[in-house]
Structure 1
Amino acid sequence: MADLDSPPKLSGVQQPSEGVGGGRCSEISAELIRSLTELQELEAVYERLCGEEKVVERELDALLEQQNTIESKMVTLHRMGPNLQLIEGDAKQLAGMITFTCNLAENVSSKVRQLDLAKNRLYQAIQRADDILDLKFCMDGVQTALRSEDYEQAAAHTHRYLCLDKSVIELSRQGKEGSMIDANLKLLQEAEQRLKAIVAEKFAIATKEGDLPQVERFFKIFPLLGLHEEGLRKFSEYLCKQVASKAEENLLMVLGTDMSDRRAAVIFADTLTLLFEGIARIVETHQPIVETYYGPGRLYTLIKYLQVECDRQVEKVVDKFIKQRDYHQQFRHVQNNLMRNSTTEKIEPRELDPILTEVTLMNARSELYLRFLKKRISSDFEVGDSMASEEVKQEHQKCLDKLLNNCLLSCTMQELIGLYVTMEEYFMRETVNKAVALDTYEKGQLTSSMVDDVFYIVKKCIGRALSSSSIDCLCAMINLATTELESDFRTSSAG
Structure 2
Amino acid sequence: MESSDPPPSINFGTAEALDHIRSLTDVGAMTRLLHECIAYQRALDLNLDHLLSQRSDLDKHLSNLQKSSQVLDIVKSDADHVLSNVSSTCDLADHVSAKVRELDLAQSRVNSTLLRLDAIVERTNCIDGVKQALDGQDYESAAKFVQRFTQIESEYRDSGSEQRDQLMESKKQLESIVKKKLSAAVDQRDHPNVLRFIRLYTPLGIEEEGLQAYVSYLRKVIGMRSRLEFEHLMELMEQKNNQNQQVNFVGCLTNLFKDIVLAIEENDEILRGSVGKMGLFMLFVSFKRSVIRGGL
Common fold by TM > 0.5: yes
C-alpha separation in 2, matches of 1:192 and 1:118: 38
**Residues 70-469 of structure 1 correspond to what in structure 2 (within 5 A)?**
77-165=65-153, 168=156, 170=158, 173=160, 182=162, 184-245=163-224, 271=254, 275=257, 278-279=260-261, 281-291=262-272, 293-294=273-274, 298-312=275-289, 315=292
C-alpha separation in 2, matches of 1:117 and 1:278: 60
271 and 284 in structure 1: CA distance in 2 versus 1, 3 angstrom threshold: closer
Letter of the structure 1 residue corresponding to residue 173 of structure 2: R
78 and 154 in structure 1: CA distance in 2 versus 1, 3 angstrom threshold: same
C-alpha separation in 2, matches of 1:271 and 1:72: 120
Letter of the structure 2 residue corresponding to residue 271 of structure 1: T
C-alpha separation in 2, matches of 1:69 and 1:284: 108
- Offset at residue 190 of structure 1 (A): 0.9
227 and 75 in structure 1: CA distance in 2 versus 1, 3 angstrom threshold: farther
Q: Secondary structure at the match of 2:211?
A: helix
146 and 70 in structure 1: CA distance in 2 versus 1, 3 angstrom threshold: farther
C-alpha separation in 2, matches of 1:290 and 1:36: 133
Q: Residues 254 and 271 of structure 1 are in contact (CA less than 8 Å); yes or no, is this contact kept in structure 2?
A: no
- Offset at residue 119 of structure 1 (A): 2.5
75 and 276 in structure 1: CA distance in 2 versus 1, 3 angstrom threshold: farther
Partner of 1:410: none
- Offset at residue 214 of structure 1 (A): 1.0
Letter of the structure 2 residue corresponding to residue 193 of structure 1: K
Q: Deviations over 1:4-29 (max 9, x none)?
A: xxxxxxxxxxxx9xxxxxxxx9xxx5
Q: Secondary structure at the match of 1:231?
A: helix
C-alpha separation in 1, matches of 2:57 and 2:283: 102
147 and 86 in structure 1: CA distance in 2 versus 1, 3 angstrom threshold: same
- Offset at residue 217 of structure 1 (A): 0.5
Q: Residues 211 and 279 of structure 2 are in contact (CA less than 8 Å); yes or no, is this contact kept in structure 1?
A: yes
Larger radius of gyration: 2
Contiguous gaps of at least 5 residues in structure 1: 1-15, 17-24, 38-62, 174-180, 257-263, 318-495
**Residues 15-26 of structure 1 correspond to what in structure 2 (within 5 A)?**
none
Letter of the structure 1 residue corresponding to residue 114 of structure 2: I
Q: Residues 158 and 192 of structure 1 are in contact (CA less than 8 Å); yes or no, is this contact kept in structure 2?
A: yes
Q: Residues 264 and 284 of structure 2 are in contact (CA less than 8 Å); yes or no, is this contact kept in structure 1?
A: no
Q: TM-score, normalised by structure 2?
A: 0.64
Q: Residues 264 and 283 of structure 2 are in contact (CA less than 8 Å); yes or no, is this contact kept in structure 1?
A: no
C-alpha separation in 2, matches of 1:248 and 1:311: 17
Q: Secondary structure at the match of 2:90?
A: helix
C-alpha separation in 2, matches of 1:70 and 1:314: 119
- Offset at residue 213 of structure 1 (A): 0.7
168 and 311 in structure 1: CA distance in 2 versus 1, 3 angstrom threshold: closer
Q: Residues 129 and 142 of structure 2 are in contact (CA less than 8 Å); yes or no, is this contact kept in structure 1?
A: yes
- Offset at residue 307 of structure 1 (A): 2.0
Pick from 2, 17, 23 the counterpart of residue 30 of structure 1: 17
98 and 282 in structure 1: CA distance in 2 versus 1, 3 angstrom threshold: farther
Identity of aligned residues (%): 28
Q: Residues 268 and 280 of structure 2 are in contact (CA less than 8 Å); yes or no, is this contact kept in structure 1?
A: no
C-alpha separation in 1, matches of 2:193 and 2:278: 21
Q: Deviations over 1:193-227 (max 9, x none)?
A: 12122222222222233221111101111111111
Q: Residues 244 and 313 of structure 1 are in contact (CA less than 8 Å); yes or no, is this contact kept in structure 2?
A: no
Q: TM-score, normalised by structure 1?
A: 0.41
- Offset at residue 163 of structure 1 (A): 1.5
Letter of the structure 2 residue corresponding to residue 142 of structure 1: V
92 and 315 in structure 1: CA distance in 2 versus 1, 3 angstrom threshold: same
Q: Secondary structure at the match of 2:152?
A: coil
Q: Secondary structure at the match of 1:226?
A: coil
- Offset at residue 149 of structure 1 (A): 2.0
Equivalent residues, number: 261
312 and 83 in structure 1: CA distance in 2 versus 1, 3 angstrom threshold: same
